[in-house]
Amino acid sequence: MKKKSKLDFDKTYVWMTIPLVALFFLFNTYPLIKGFLYSFTNFRGYGSYQSVGLRNYLDLFTDARVDHSYLFTFGVAICVTILVNVISLVLALGLNSKIKFKSGLRALYFVPNILGALVVGYIFNYFFTYILPAFEKMLFGSGSSILASQKWAWVAIVIVCAWQAIAMQTIIYISGLQTVPEDVYEAGAIDGSSGWTKFRTLTLPLILPFVTINLVLTMKNALMVFDQIMALTKGGPAQSTESISYLIYNNGMSGGQFGFQSANAVLFFVVIVLISIFQLKFMGKKEEQL
Amino acid sequence: MARISFQHVEKTYDNNVTVVPDLNLDIKDKEFVVLVGPSGCGKSTTLRMIAGLESITSGELYIGDRVVNELQPKDRDIAMVFQTYALYPHMTVYKNMAYALQLKKTPKDEIDRKVKHAAEILGLTEYLNRKPRALSGGQRQRVALGRAMVRNPEVFLLDEPLSNLDAKLRTEMRAQIAKLHKQLDTTFVYVTHDQTEAMTMADRIVVMNKGVIQQFDTPAHIYDHPANLFVATFIGSPKMNLTDVLLEKKGNTYYIKNEDLHFAIPAGKVNATFDQYVGKTVTLGIRPEDLHIEKIMVDTYPDAIFNATLDLVENTGSEMNLYFNYHGKDMILKTPSRFDYKDGDTISMAIDKNKIHLFDKETGKAIS
């Protein structure tokens, strides 16, 4: 009988890994490289194309629609990040305290996370289009959907993004709060800390690693806002809610700007990476090694 | 004045478990009191009630002349040292110690003076800028003590502060805490399950079991005159040997009798309650060091001698522990002398009759 060598054993893992690596390469890495290459061309998504060098990249900085999408996306992302983290932290503090039905409430608050973004978007679309204006009409005599307002449609996007993101971030904050030993709070109570002082001097510094993770995750997710816009406004009214992702998809796929929007996608990728690195470094300095 | 007084204090948790049914205890100002007992006896709960970390179900708790039942921990003028140290992991040693003072808005130079003074007493000066994670267990415990010291509290509470330290460090810290009590001259309430800590540090010891105080007295008195079987076996290491004997009376003399013992109880040990036990079985308690194998003792108590076969001979260096079985009960003899005994040897030993303890077999209460 042939003795199983160590080499055979290792091969099992190789055979387990290869299909996944191949799939990952085929559906992730290959399109990524392809997109990167297209970003140096004037490809419209069909027909022939030529190389244009770095012109797409240079044009990105002068294109008004691209500029607006960046402004809009960053505005939304910053609002969502602040809103989500403040609300999640408050919720987590509540759900981590000694209250009744704690487990049930935790499950309830997690529900938004298991719903698809498009589904949530369409539900809110209905809410903003019919229910909210009806209420407004009852109270003030007249009402219109904020989705139809160039000035306020972005607020709807922020609300929907935040509503869904809060679920996951709350869970992360709850697990963070559970890492703080109870006796530290007890020592604090004897030393005279309570309420806001307790939160500022004990809780917050001790859960700072979780704050960092949450800030990076929310910011990254909010920068990539897409589904909510598809479901709520489709970039409108008058392109006022066009996010970067939406612009890349819309103009790249059906606007004949495949090459140009590929360049946009590459730039956007670099921007998100830079922001995440900055956040991690900046917050890392404030974090305490426990 | 920081006397602490429990008056009919009861502690029942939300799940209807009563940990402390009816506690009455008076701790004098500046006294060092140790609460000792097995796990789950309610000693920590009692301490935490003083701290204000546990609410009181009924009864009244006084610190000084105030009823503190409803007072927040910070308003009770107490400091507490936790078993797990409970240092603030994100603060330096200095900030850990300064924290309470900062919250009280103490002037900066005063904080600095107090923290540095405490650090000097505890030998922490060179570690002031370190975080707790960079300290050893013993150093962390000293920081916890320092944090309590700087507040200059009326009452110092210590919850098993030494149980996370190794044996050598524990002995050192024991002396340091006893010294600290003298320096600070405040009331200390100390919880431990280690009876050596209780014996060595306390002015008075509270022995607790199942939420009930078994005895509250000086270490020497508790050791020499345990109030009941629980105290007798809990305090003392190795623990007290127990065996059942018959109490007899001939004339005015009371005798102890079993299969191989028959001796008169010294007159000094006898009291009025003895008569009700005559003809009944009582529990005889003998501390391991009150059993003797030295020839002079065997000659002195010829009527209180019995033979036993050794199960195990243990040499601790300073003394020897001889393990044997006597009428079905495992017993130990402790002697400072050196003998060449081996497991399986049969030896004669004498009971020091002046040091015997007698207990009611039913209630466990001491009768001698």
In chain B, what are the domain boundaries?
A: 4-230, 241-360
pLDDT bracket for residue B113 (50, 70, 90): very high
Among A190, A198, A288, pick the best mutation site for testing chain B contact (most B Cβ within 10 A).
A190
User: Does the beta-carbon distance from A192 to B74 stay under 8 Å?
Assistant: yes
Mean pLDDT calculated for residue range A154-173: 91
Has the ipTM of the complex gone over 0.85? no
Task: Tell me the nearest-neighbour CA distance from A282 into chain B, angstroms.
Answer: 17
Task: Identify the closest residue of chain B to A188 by CA–CA distance.
Answer: B100
User: Does the beta-carbon distance from B88 to A186 stay under 8 Å?
Assistant: no
In CATH terms, the fold of domain B241-360 is OB fold (Dihydrolipoamide Acetyltransferase, E2P) (2.40.50)
Mean pLDDT calculated for residue range A192-199: 88
Is B265 within 8 Å of B273 (Cβ atoms)?
Answer: no
Mean pLDDT of chain B: 90
User: Does the beta-carbon distance from B73 to A190 stay under 8 Å?
Assistant: yes
Task: Tell me the nearest-neighbour CA distance from B193 into chain A, angstroms.
Answer: 20
In a domain, A13, yes or no: no
**Between these two residues, A152 and A142, which has the higher pLDDT value?**
A152
Domain boundaries, position A109: 65-286
pLDDT at residue A6 in the model = 59
Q: What percent of chain B has pLDDT over 90?
A: 51
User: Does the beta-carbon distance from A290 to B86 stay under 8 Å?
Assistant: no
Of A191, A206, A288, the CB nearest to B99: A191
pLDDT at A129 over 80: yes
User: Does the beta-carbon distance from B88 to A202 stay under 8 Å?
Assistant: yes
pLDDT at A87 over 90: yes
pLDDT bracket for residue A288 (50, 70, 90): low
Mean pLDDT calculated for residue range A21-48: 89
| Cα radius of gyration rounded to whole Å, chain A | 24
pLDDT at residue B109 in the model = 92
In a domain, A89, yes or no: yes
Mean pLDDT calculated for residue range B35-63: 91
User: Does the beta-carbon distance from A186 to B90 stay under 8 Å?
Assistant: no
Mean pLDDT calculated for residue range B156-167: 88
Give contacts of A 145-184 with B, CB under 8 A. 181, 183-184
Mean pLDDT calculated for residue range B92-108: 92
In a domain, A37, yes or no: no
**Between these two residues, A53 and A157, which has the higher pLDDT value?**
A157
Q: What's phi and psi for B161, nearest 5 deg?
A: -70, -20
User: Does the beta-carbon distance from A183 to B86 stay under 8 Å?
Assistant: yes
On chain A, the residues whose CB falls within 8 A of the CB of B105 are none
Tokens of B331: 């017993």
Mean pLDDT calculated for residue range A242-247: 88
Task: Identify the closest residue of chain B to A287 by CA–CA distance.
Answer: B90
Q: pLDDT (tens digit, 9 = 90+) per residue, B219-276?
A: 999 999 999 999 999 998 889 999 999 999 888 889 998 888 888 898 888 888 888 8
In this prediction the pTM is 0.80
pLDDT at residue A99 in the model = 82
Dihedral through CA B4, CA B5, CA B6, CA B8, nearest 10? -170
pLDDT at residue A75 in the model = 92
**Domain CATH for A69:** 1.10.3720.10
**Pairs across A and B, CB distance < 8 A:** 66
In a domain, A15, yes or no: no
Of B84, B87, B90, the CB nearest to A205: B90
Task: Give how many domains chain A has, as a whole number.
Answer: 1
User: Does the beta-carbon distance from B51 to A190 stay under 8 Å?
Assistant: yes
Give contacts of A 196-255 with B, CB under 8 A. 197, 201-202, 205-206
In a domain, A114, yes or no: yes
pLDDT bracket for residue A287 (50, 70, 90): low
- What distance in Å separates the CA atoms of residue A205 and residue A200, rounded to the nearest whole number? 7
Q: Where are the beta strands (DSSP E) in chain B?
A: 4-12, 18-27, 32-36, 58-63, 66-67, 78-81, 155-159, 187-192, 204-209, 212-217, 241-250, 253-257, 262-264, 281-286, 291-292, 305-315, 320-326, 329-335, 346-351, 357-360
Of B80, B104, B133, the CB nearest to A190: B80
Of A184, A192, A197, the CB nearest to B88: A184
Mean pLDDT calculated for residue range A118-135: 88
Is A105 within 8 Å of A190 (Cβ atoms)?
Answer: no
Is A256 within 8 Å of A184 (Cβ atoms)?
Answer: no
pLDDT at A5 over 60: no
pLDDT at B344 over 70: yes
C-alpha triplet B193, B194, B198: angle, nearest 5°: 100
Distances (CA, A) of A165 to A109, A172, A174, A220: 11, 11, 15, 11
On chain A, the residues whose CB falls within 8 A of the CB of B80 are 186-187, 190
Task: Tell me the nearest-neighbour CA distance from B99 into chain A, angstroms.
Answer: 7
Task: Tell me the nearest-neighbour CA distance from B13 into chain A, angstroms.
Answer: 14
Give contacts of A 10-69 with B, CB under 8 A. none
User: Does the beta-carbon distance from B88 to A188 stay under 8 Å?
Assistant: yes
Chain B contacts to A (CB-CB under 8 A):
51-53, 72-74, 78-80, 82, 84, 86-90, 99-100, 103-104, 131, 133, 147, 151
User: Does the beta-carbon distance from A206 to B89 stay under 8 Å?
Assistant: yes
pLDDT at A283 over 80: no
Of A184, A192, A289, the CB nearest to B133: A289
On chain A, the residues whose CB falls within 8 A of the CB of B53 are 186, 189-190
Task: Tell me the nearest-neighbour CA distance from A202 into chain B, angstroms.
Answer: 8
pLDDT at residue B97 in the model = 93
Q: Domain B4-230: what homologous superfamily?
A: P-loop containing nucleotide triphosphate hydrolases (3.40.50.300)
In a domain, A6, yes or no: no
Closest by CA to A173, choosing from A216, A208, A202, is A208
Task: Identify the closest residue of chain A to B155 by CA–CA distance.
Answer: A190
Q: Where are the beta strands (DSSP E) in chain A?
A: none
In a domain, A280, yes or no: yes
User: Does the beta-carbon distance from A288 to B90 stay under 8 Å?
Assistant: yes
Closest by CA to B88, choosing from A287, A203, A208, A283, is A203
Could you tell me if A187 lies within 8 Å of chain B, comparing CB atoms? yes
Could you tell me if A8 lies within 8 Å of chain B, comparing CB atoms? no
Is B353 within 8 Å of B265 (Cβ atoms)?
Answer: yes
User: Does the beta-carbon distance from A191 to B86 stay under 8 Å?
Assistant: no
pLDDT at B101 over 80: yes
pLDDT bracket for residue A106 (50, 70, 90): confident
User: Does the beta-carbon distance from A191 to B103 stay under 8 Å?
Assistant: yes
Task: Identify the closest residue of chain B to A181 by CA–CA distance.
Answer: B86
- What distance in Å separates the CA atoms of residue B87 and residue A181, rounded to the nearest whole number? 10
Q: Strand, coil or helix: what is B38?
A: coil
Is A112 within 8 Å of A164 (Cβ atoms)?
Answer: yes
User: Does the beta-carbon distance from A187 to B79 stay under 8 Å?
Assistant: no
pLDDT at residue A7 in the model = 59
User: Does the beta-carbon distance from B73 to A288 stay under 8 Å?
Assistant: no
User: Does the beta-carbon distance from B147 to A187 stay under 8 Å?
Assistant: yes
User: Does the beta-carbon distance from A183 to B84 stay under 8 Å?
Assistant: yes
